[in-house]
Structure 1
Amino acid sequence: MDSSAKLTRRVTLADVAKMAGVSKQTASRVVNDSPNVTDETRARVKQCIEALGFRPSALARQLNTGRSHTLGIVSNASVGYLVCGEAYVGMLQQTDKMGYALLNKLVTDFAPDNVTSLMDGLIERQVDGVIWAGPDIGDSHTWMDSYPMERLPMPMVAINTRPRPGIDVVGFNNFLGGQNATRHLIGLGRKRVAHLSGPLDRWVASERVLGWRKALEEAGLGDCQRLFVEGNWETSGGGEGLRRLLEIDPKIDAIFVSSDRMALGVLLEAQRMGIRVPEDIAVVSIDNDPQSAFFNPPLTTMTQDTPAMAEAALCLLVRRICERHGEPYPALCAEMPNTSFEHQLIVRGSTVAN
């Protein structure tokens, strides 16, 4: 077959088989890495594949194997953990290396009928597995408590939600994150340690509250548990939160804030009120937003390695798919990934003055 033929029509498996002098079935075995082919025949067929520029049809592969090699990822519109930025780019690169594609589905209404329709749609698309990547807010994950998971024809991994039977979960240990952030403040000698939380319908925020309370109990500062205000994650809630905390106790000398955005609001309001940070009030947060190092003062915060969490979730899902189909794990997933990630403290000027 000359080069002009390759430009006028798609090269087929039959073309490969003809050139290699083998049956189409044998050529198919080579394409699908079947062990039932001699090394000599395999090498000859691969040479012909390269010479002809043959590319297997994804549709034909799906029909032959019942596999789409597509992974569904469900997110809460623009606030999903893994659907933008470095984490999502990393997932795209990793899925491509393992021979998969990502299908992103957005959802905002978690009524049972809507979730059932969404899952049915993914099943109809024959996705091989699902990552539920939206934040645990309100009723976004309650469907998992009643949905018949055993009926799903594919495995599912959930991100940053409370553990549930029959569902793999990958996420950060937010209880420990809140505990360690508070321990940092207590270790600096602070005695009136308050907390400005995220919305309490978020599992992540409620876990951080529990961690803060546990650290207070450990240090014999249980009376500080009244120094608590619920926030909204946003910068606008930081200033209001600081004012409300000072109304509860004007002698507060430290605040654990549940997001960097709210912490920025706290710093701005403290400056407006003439409160020195960290001399009068030390501030620590969680997120390590890229801008946090440039706040005034630079913000002490806890890192969240979201790209690593995304990689672990993807790796775990592919392992579960392989287990279900009795296949070997891809090299990228040879080892069982870590499923519980810890935040790392980055100490800056908002808690330790230069």
Structure 2
Amino acid sequence: MTDGRAARLTLAQIAETAGVSVSTVSKVLNGRDDVSADTRARVDAVLRRNRYVRRGAPATEPAAPGPRTVDLVLGGIDGSWPASVASGMEAAAHDAGLHVVISVARANGRGPDWVDRALERGSSGVVVGLAEPTEDQLRRLARARIPCVVIDPLSDPPPGVWSVGTTNWSGAYEATSHLLDQGHRRIGLVTGPPGHLFARARIAGYRSAMSAAGVDAPPALLRHGTYDRASGRAQVRALIELPEPPTAVFVCSDHMAIGGYEALAEAGLRVPDDVSVVGFDDLPEARWVTPPLTTVRQPLKEMGGAALRTLARLIAGEDVESPRTELATTLVPRGSTAKRREPTRGAGLRSGGGHGSAGAEPFGA
């Protein structure tokens, strides 16, 4: 290295130096008691020389500078959401002189987890998206002096964990207000699992907009999905089968909204002639459907970049006063919303029958 300081060894190098396995080093580093005293002493000596801090050891010195590598840990890598976040993070990492390694947070409990892999690589920091670190994982990162930033956390992060998200409440408020301005009064909401932090914020924004307009939001109009097309299709189908179905639906995920298009087409209903639809995310797919989807834009690339820049400041030892960074959402009007009109309902709506000539295809040519 050009500054004369030795880079911190990876766990594999620590294990080779101490003459033990990587799993043994991990056990010592995490304070496990199933290691002999002699082996523990040998590994501890190597860890001390390389400025690692094992669980339960006094934390009086900052960790030595590690390799310029950071981890992006995702709950999954399929789809546009993780690709957009990764793109923004990689661009910011390039500017900061950092390298990004992408891994998947698997919940099967077999073998080393993503924290073990980050420790083994000697990662300088971690960004987590579409996954929720456990208390144990966060503890292990803190013991090893590896800072962590979470993108769109599923619940309130504990002290010492930074987060980057969007203005979910105001995004939902704006989307609902847009439909109200179009004359809609029965507006269905399909959002994510009820325990998710951003799902609760979007529900609150929807309800606030409805209340401000003096419009009821009965519980029957609220449905919970799982952010995929299949659940969007099922939940929109349930909404339009209500005795008093909505004339508009706000679906808090573009993927779920595309599934909603399919449910409406199957029922012989047209978007937006019979039912207006608003999504959330502004993924590329929102422009590919017919008609193009009105949606709330989450600045996903910017979120990835902001998470990396926060992480770089933490790695450099800077104070980051605010534990959360929020980026603004923007409503993107397209062809899936229109003024409220009396719907032309397909004959199969109540019976679960055919597709009807009025049903729109969910994808463009």
TM over 0.5: yes
Q: Which residues of 2 match residues 164-179 of structure 1 at below 5 A?
A: 164=157, 165-179=159-173
**Residue of structure 2 in register with 1:160 after alignment:** 152
Q: Deviations over 1:33-72 (max 9, x none)?
A: x9xxxxxxxxxxxxxxxxxxxxxxxx95557964211112
- 1:341 is matched by which residue type in structure 2? L
Paired residues, number: 284
| 1:295 lines up with 2:281 in the alignment | no
After superposing on structure 2, the runs of 4+ consecutive aligned residues of structure 1 that deviate more than 6 Å are: none
Following TM superposition, by how much is the alpha carbon of 1:212 offset from its aligned partner in structure 2, in angstroms? 1.7
Provide closer, same or farther for how the CA distance between residues 159 and 114 of structure 1 changes in structure 2, counting only shifts above 3 A.
Answer: farther
Q: Which has more helix, going by share of residues?
A: 1
Residue in structure 2 matching 1:92, options 66, 90, 93: 90
Following TM superposition, by how much is the alpha carbon of 1:305 offset from its aligned partner in structure 2, in angstroms? 1.6
Following TM superposition, by how much is the alpha carbon of 1:254 offset from its aligned partner in structure 2, in angstroms? 1.2
Percent identity, aligned pairs only? 29
Contact 2:229 2:259 in 1 (8 A): yes
**Residue of structure 1 in register with 2:121 after alignment:** 125
Provide closer, same or farther for how the CA distance between residues 156 and 193 of structure 1 changes in structure 2, counting only shifts above 3 A.
Answer: same
Contact 2:278 2:336 in 1 (8 A): yes
Following TM superposition, by how much is the alpha carbon of 1:177 offset from its aligned partner in structure 2, in angstroms? 2.0
| Secondary structure at 2:218 match in 1 | helix
Distance 2:243 2:281 in 1: 26
Contact 1:312 1:338 in 2 (8 A): no
- 1:119 is matched by which residue type in structure 2? V
Provide closer, same or farther for how the CA distance between residues 144 and 226 of structure 1 changes in structure 2, counting only shifts above 3 A.
Answer: farther
Provide closer, same or farther for how the CA distance between residues 83 and 258 of structure 1 changes in structure 2, counting only shifts above 3 A.
Answer: closer
Distance 1:81 1:290 in 2: 7
Q: Deviations over 1:158-201 (max 9, x none)?
A: 11014322211011222222222111111222111111223335
Following TM superposition, by how much is the alpha carbon of 1:314 offset from its aligned partner in structure 2, in angstroms? 0.4
**Residue of structure 2 in register with 1:75 after alignment:** 74
Provide closer, same or farther for how the CA distance between residues 75 and 214 of structure 1 changes in structure 2, counting only shifts above 3 A.
Answer: same
Contact 1:315 1:337 in 2 (8 A): no
Residue in structure 1 matching 2:105, options 71, 84, 107: 107
| Secondary structure at 2:274 match in 1 | coil
Q: CA RMSD in A?
A: 3.5
Provide closer, same or farther for how the CA distance between residues 301 and 338 of structure 1 changes in structure 2, counting only shifts above 3 A.
Answer: same
Following TM superposition, by how much is the alpha carbon of 1:91 offset from its aligned partner in structure 2, in angstroms? 2.8
| Secondary structure at 2:312 match in 1 | helix
Following TM superposition, by how much is the alpha carbon of 1:311 offset from its aligned partner in structure 2, in angstroms? 0.7
- 1:108 is matched by which residue type in structure 2? R
Residue in structure 2 matching 1:199, options 193, 196, 201: 193
Residue in structure 1 matching 2:304, options 303, 310, 316: 310
Contact 1:216 1:224 in 2 (8 A): no
- 2:101 is matched by which residue type in structure 1? L
**Residue of structure 2 in register with 1:350 after alignment:** 336
Distance 1:273 1:104 in 2: 41
| Secondary structure at 1:77 match in 2 | coil
Q: Structure 2 unaligned segments of length 5 or more: list them.
A: 10-49, 51-63, 340-365
Provide closer, same or farther for how the CA distance between residues 252 and 89 of structure 1 changes in structure 2, counting only shifts above 3 A.
Answer: closer
What's the TM-score once normalised by structure 1's chain length?
A: 0.68
Q: Which residues of 2 match residues 164-313 of structure 1 at below 5 A?
A: 164=157, 165-313=159-307
Distance 2:124 2:325 in 1: 20
- Larger deviation: 162-171 or 312-321? 162-171
**Residue of structure 2 in register with 1:41 after alignment:** none
Of structures 1 and 2, the one scoring higher in RCO (CA 8 A, sep 6+) is 2
Following TM superposition, by how much is the alpha carbon of 1:142 offset from its aligned partner in structure 2, in angstroms? 4.5
- 2:93 is matched by which residue type in structure 1? T
Following TM superposition, by how much is the alpha carbon of 1:291 offset from its aligned partner in structure 2, in angstroms? 3.0
| Structure (1 or 2) with the larger CA radius of gyration | 1
Distance 1:195 1:103 in 2: 37
